[in-house]
Chains A and B, each alone.
Chain A
Amino acid sequence: MTLALNLAGVAGRLDRVSLQCRRGMVTAICGPNGAGKSTALVCLAGLMLPDNGETLLGGLPLHRQTLSRRARWIGYLPQSPEVAWDVSVEVLISLGRLPWKDAPSIETREAIEDAIAAMDLQELRHRPVSRLSGGERARALMARVLATQPGWLLADEPFAALDLAHAASLMRHFRQQANVGRGVVLVLHDLATAMNHADQVVVLEKGRVVAEGPPEIALSREVVTRVWNCPARWLGEPGERALSLGAPSPAASGLRGRLS
């Protein structure tokens, strides 16, 4: 099954885009600032209905589905999620069960517990959201999406606030989800994460898809250099790649010295 976005014209920042995400895969959407990554994710999540295009889930237009069915299929984590009231972590996560109005309470309970365990939040479950650190809050919000147990997980910069260990654990979780046949679509700023962990990468530039495919191809040195307008070079082996920016010039090494 695929989740596809077909745009014949302009929608927000996007311009004539056609992209496909497959189940069982981790798809990364990359691109410089303002390329339309978040808009693409919002469209894929079915939250924006473009005038001259559509989002297809398994070939069926998403906007024809009922809202609650769509909500059960597609879980979406916005880039800067807000929490208006100072609810506890557990209550926050339980909001993820709202699409499953009629589910038996034992199922609800289990889904919430699984999400809490997946995001390592057992200790924090009763803590009010206002007393969480940025990373803890990000984990709680991710757990809210996981609690829905959607067929597709769409997340905008899910690693941005996480420390190394929790980012790695979340990435493992995404991989598990893909392995059991769910679709995972991530907007990623960090190209190394996309290179090492995604199965498929879509590169956007100024609202257009400029590269698409396996990471080694879609994020090749040439693409990165051209799209991000920055001389770059991949180091290391496949799966453990690191991005080195620019040739070591006097100015850059001076900067490095100051930073360390």
Chain B
Amino acid sequence: MSIRLILALLAALLLAVPLSLLAGRVWIDPLAPQFQTASVILVELRLPRAVLALVLGGGLGTAGAAMQGYLRNPLADPGLFGIAPGAALGAVLSFWTGYAAAPYMLPLFALAGAGGAMALLALIAGRGGGVALFTLAGLMVSSLAGALMSLAISLSPSPFAMSEIVTWMMGSLADRSWHEVWIAAPLTVLGAMVLGIAGRDLDAMTLGEVAAHSLGVDLMRLRALMIAGVGLTVGAGVAVAGIIGFVGLMVPHLVRPLTDRRPSSLLLPSGLAGALLMLLADCLCRILPLAGGELRLGIALSLLGTPFFLRLLLRMRKELA
């Protein structure tokens, strides 16, 4: 494993976290705080938000690396399995039914949605079939969740519910507290650990499914690990922050050339780089002066991600030519 890369990423994180705490609508000078509320801003507002960014970014980075390894495709994204749309559907239903107003209900609904998507995925994929069939099952779950979400929005009981749903779906870390951290962190860590267990099997998948099987990989077990690992990390992320795209796609890509390109040696660096990217992107959202509130994190990352995706496609086209 590339120890040097991991150390460099850790160092960058150590540098970025304190900076992110000081940056925002009001800048806080650590040596001479101008506000009496500075400590409140730091501990109750910015620290949980930074921790959440690290947790979510780390989870998405790890899940993205695992997904690309599993599907043997550099364009795979943790959203492909339909777990993120499933979680989002759960959240939308909580707005729709009005339960979202009660504490913890929104994330609970979202987690139930993620769990439902995972169960459906396991059910459809069944015992046989390869990765391709499984991906199609994921796409089906994804489009089903998307359609139901649109249905819920179009039938939303009040314009307020609708606007809340739409705003929430854009993904953001604004106004998140320690509650959200306690919901997301354990699940994400657990999910990342599950994906870590799958690391060796993902390495074998480099040679294709049949060769991986011949190397002793239990394909059913690997699939179950992937559903659980991606489900926990992505589900937890969507539950507390809405849909945040592109991190899981972009980060493994940026990091892969710096490793020996084995999927297992990509998991940890990709997680760390995901945490770093998310933290920086969230800071950017806070700092950018924007009329009518701050830039939503999901939008910012998608804006960043699209040109990246395009570059990737162009490079692949060049390689094919």
Identify the A interface with B (CB < 8 A). Answer: 42, 45, 47, 67-68, 70-72, 74-78, 81-88, 91-92, 95-96, 98-99, 101, 144, 148
Size category of the B interface is 20 to 34
Chain B residues with Cβ below 8 Å from A71 are 214-216
Q: For the complex, what is the distance from the CA of A78 to the CA of B203, rounded to whole Å? A: 17
Does B43 sit at the interface, judged by CB under 8 A?
A: no
**Contact of A78 with B208 in the complex, beta carbons under 8 Å:** yes
Seed contacts A87-B261, A88-B260; 12 additional CB < 8 Å A-B pairs: A47-B214, A71-B216, A74-B214, A76-B211, A78-B208, A81-B208, A82-B72, A82-B211, A84-B207, A85-B206, A91-B262, A98-B200
**Contact of A84 with B204 in the complex, beta carbons under 8 Å:** no
- Interface residues in B157-212 (C-beta closer than 8 Å to A): 200, 203-208, 210-211
**Contact of A83 with B207 in the complex, beta carbons under 8 Å:** yes
User: What would be 8 A-B contacts, judged by CB atoms less than 8 Å apart?
Assistant: A42-B210, A67-B217, A67-B218, A70-B216, A72-B216, A87-B260, A88-B260, A98-B217
- Shortest beta-carbon distance from A66 to chain B in Å: 8
**Contact of B200 with A81 in the complex, beta carbons under 8 Å:** no
Residue among A47, A83, A87, A148 facing the most chain B CB atoms (10 A cut-off): A87
- Shortest beta-carbon distance from B129 to chain A in Å: 14
Chain B residues with Cβ below 8 Å from A47 are 210, 213-214
- Shortest beta-carbon distance from A203 to chain B in Å: 24
Chain B residues with Cβ below 8 Å from A68 are 216
- Interface residues in B210-249 (C-beta closer than 8 Å to A): 210-211, 213-218
Q: For the complex, what is the distance from the CA of A144 to the CA of B203, rounded to whole Å? A: 13
**Contact of B261 with A85 in the complex, beta carbons under 8 Å:** yes
**Contact of A98 with B216 in the complex, beta carbons under 8 Å:** yes
**Contact of A91 with B260 in the complex, beta carbons under 8 Å:** yes
**Contact of B216 with A99 in the complex, beta carbons under 8 Å:** yes
User: Which A-chain residue is minimally distant from B319 (CB atoms)?
Assistant: A130
Question: A85-B262, A87-B262, A88-B260 given as contacts; is B216 within 8 A of A67 (CB)?
Answer: yes
Does B90 sit at the interface, judged by CB under 8 A?
A: no
Does B263 sit at the interface, judged by CB under 8 A?
A: yes
- Shortest beta-carbon distance from B224 to chain A in Å: 15
CB-defined interface of B67-83 with A at 8 Å, one 1/0 digit per residue?
00000110000000000
Q: For the complex, what is the distance from the CA of A148 to the CA of B216, rounded to whole Å? A: 11
Question: A67-B216, A95-B203, A101-B200 given as contacts; is B72 within 8 A of A84 (CB)?
Answer: yes
User: Which A-chain residue is minimally distant from B214 (CB atoms)?
Assistant: A76
**Contact of A82 with B214 in the complex, beta carbons under 8 Å:** no
Q: Which of B72, B73, B206, B210 contacts A95 (CB 8 A)?
A: B206
Q: For the complex, what is the distance from the CA of A45 to the CA of B211, rounded to whole Å? A: 10
- Interface residues in B243-259 (C-beta closer than 8 Å to A): 256
Q: Which of B214, B217, B218 contacts A45 (CB 8 A)?
A: B214
Chain A residues with Cβ below 8 Å from B263 are 85
User: Which A-chain residue is minimally distant from B265 (CB atoms)?
Assistant: A91
Q: For the complex, what is the distance from the CA of A45 to the CA of B213, rounded to whole Å? A: 10
**Contact of B260 with A84 in the complex, beta carbons under 8 Å:** no
Chain A residues with Cβ below 8 Å from B205 are 84
Residue among B204, B205, B208, B214 facing the most chain A CB atoms (10 A cut-off): B214
Q: Which of A72, A99, A101, A144 contacts B207 (CB 8 A)?
A: A144
Chain B residues with Cβ below 8 Å from A45 are 214
- Shortest beta-carbon distance from B175 to chain A in Å: 40
Q: Which 3 A-B pairs have the closest CB atoms?
A: A71-B216, A84-B72, A76-B214
User: Which B-chain residue is minimally distant from A46 (CB atoms)?
Assistant: B214
Chain A residues with Cβ below 8 Å from B204 are 95, 98
Residue among B205, B217, B261 facing the most chain A CB atoms (10 A cut-off): B261
Q: For the complex, what is the distance from the CA of A91 to the CA of B261, rounded to whole Å? A: 9
Q: For the complex, what is the distance from the CA of A231 to the CA of B215, rounded to whole Å? A: 42
**Contact of A81 with B214 in the complex, beta carbons under 8 Å:** no
**Contact of A84 with B210 in the complex, beta carbons under 8 Å:** no
Chain A residues with Cβ below 8 Å from B217 are 67, 98
**Contact of A83 with B206 in the complex, beta carbons under 8 Å:** yes
Q: For the complex, what is the distance from the CA of A67 to the CA of B218, rounded to whole Å? A: 7
**Contact of B211 with A81 in the complex, beta carbons under 8 Å:** yes
Chain B residues with Cβ below 8 Å from A86 are 261
**Contact of A82 with B208 in the complex, beta carbons under 8 Å:** yes
Q: For the complex, what is the distance from the CA of A98 to the CA of B204, rounded to whole Å? A: 7
**Contact of B206 with A87 in the complex, beta carbons under 8 Å:** yes
**Contact of B215 with A99 in the complex, beta carbons under 8 Å:** yes
User: Which A-chain residue is minimally distant from B213 (CB atoms)?
Assistant: A47
